[in-house]
Amino acid sequence: MRIVVHGQQAFGKAVLEALLKRQENVIAVYVAPEKPGAKVDPLKEAALAANLPVFQPTSYKQPEVWAEFKALKPDLQVMAFVTLFVPEEFLNIPTHGSIQYHPSLLPAYRGASAINWPIIKGETETGLSVFWPDNGLDTGDVLLQKKTTISADDTLGTVYFDRLFPLGVEAMLEAVDLVKSGRAPRLKQDEAKATYEGRCGPDNARIDWGKPWVQIDRLIRGCNPAPGAWTMLAGKQLKIFDAKPLPAKDPKGIGGKLGEIAAVEADGFKVVCADGRFKVTRVQPFDGKKLEAGAWAMSAGLKPGVIFDKP
């Protein structure tokens, strides 16, 4: 089977290398074009190292791009982390069509931030889907799915890098095998269960210390490492990546104002929220790199009684 890999970044590279390792007939690679001044994409590097032709169109809507793809005589397009819109005219060119990875249990959490939102919204389970893409946003028929739990300590980083990334590579290989054997399912998504939350960006990531600890905790974990939950101090942004919730036994006896620094310690600082406190242990100031919260507090001269700016 003549396979074209289409994707970018580390996940695309891992899928390509896994296919090559088991000697699949990968004939070409499509990669998102790099932005000016950016490093060469890891998938492109891996493709060039394997002496594979690399294509980087800025759009997949032009007939000449379709013709170029068709000339490769592909049997299957394996899409691993694709961000540009790819129309059905391109998707349907391979003999067996195209399959795509998505890091949620479709039809839930369609869209670009499918890992952030389940954590932020308090889900205890998520997963991945390999599906047959169409002109909709993650709306195509499902080929296969894999599930994983979300623990009370999980972050976007642990859910993705520890589980959805390696599970995703395995799932793509399994999906290729199903296509090759002629046993690949096409299961319609239940539109009644479909959800779409939009991109989780900085506008969604601001911490409101007036919220219950459980909401703040989910936001911090769901935005770690990106986009990074943040708060403001004297008009300057401070991102918070690691913070342990300290729920109050009696919310009426917390003491202090919302967003107030209750204590500064060698390994971090404590902040008052609606029904408890948070022990913040890793931060990133607006003009610096990530560092331990205690070291930042010392360098910033942080004192108990200081209050974070209100949203």
Does residue 161 sit in the same domain as residue 97? yes
Does residue 273 sit in the same domain as residue 251? yes
Distance CA 135, CA 91 (A): 9
Contact residues for 195 (Cβ-Cβ < 8 A; gap 6+): 107, 108, 109, 110
Q: Which amino acid is at 278?
A: F
Q: What is the pLDDT of residues 45-97, one digit of tens each?
A: 999 999 999 999 999 999 999 999 999 999 999 999 999 999 999 999 999 99
Q: Which of 158, 193, 228 is the last residue of a domain?
A: 193
Residue 24 is part of a domain; what is its CATH number?
3.40.50.170
pTM above 0.85, yes or no: yes
E strands present in the chain = 2-7, 25-31, 54-55, 76-80, 98-102, 125-131, 142-149, 229-233, 236-247, 261-265, 268-273, 276-285, 291-292
Does residue 158 sit in the same domain as residue 96? yes
pLDDT value of position 209: 98
Structure confidence at residue 266 as a pLDDT band (50, 70, 90): very high
Does residue 125 sit in the same domain as residue 250? no
In a domain, 309, yes or no: no
Structure confidence at residue 250 as a pLDDT band (50, 70, 90): confident
The mean pLDDT of 272-298, rounded to a whole number, is 97
Does residue 161 sit in the same domain as residue 252? no
pLDDT value of position 254: 76
Residue 275 is part of a domain; what is its CATH number?
3.10.25.10
Q: Which of 193, 218, 243 is the last residue of a domain?
A: 193
Does residue 175 sit in the same domain as residue 33? yes
Find the domain containing 291 and state its range: 202-300
Structure confidence at residue 255 as a pLDDT band (50, 70, 90): confident
In a domain, 287, yes or no: yes
pLDDT value of position 253: 66
Does residue 171 sit in the same domain as residue 31? yes
Q: Which of 132, 166, 193 is the last residue of a domain?
A: 193
Does residue 165 sit in the same domain as residue 220? no
Does residue 79 sit in the same domain as residue 174? yes
C-alpha distances in Å from residue 251, one per residue of 217, 247, 256, 268, 286:
17, 8, 11, 22, 32
In a domain, 310, yes or no: no
Does residue 155 sit in the same domain as residue 27? yes
pLDDT at 251 over 80: no
Write phi, then psi, for 301 (nearest 5 degrees): 65, 35
Does residue 169 sit in the same domain as residue 265? no
The mean pLDDT of 216-222, rounded to a whole number, is 98
In a domain, 308, yes or no: no
Q: What is the pLDDT of residues 116-164, one digit of tens each?
A: 999 999 999 999 999 999 999 999 999 999 999 999 999 999 999 999 9
Q: What is the mean pLDDT of the chain?
A: 97
Does residue 69 sit in the same domain as residue 140? yes
**Spatial contact of 172 and 84, defined as CB atoms under 8 Å apart:** no
Q: How many domains does the chain have?
A: 2
**Spatial contact of 50 and 42, defined as CB atoms under 8 Å apart:** no
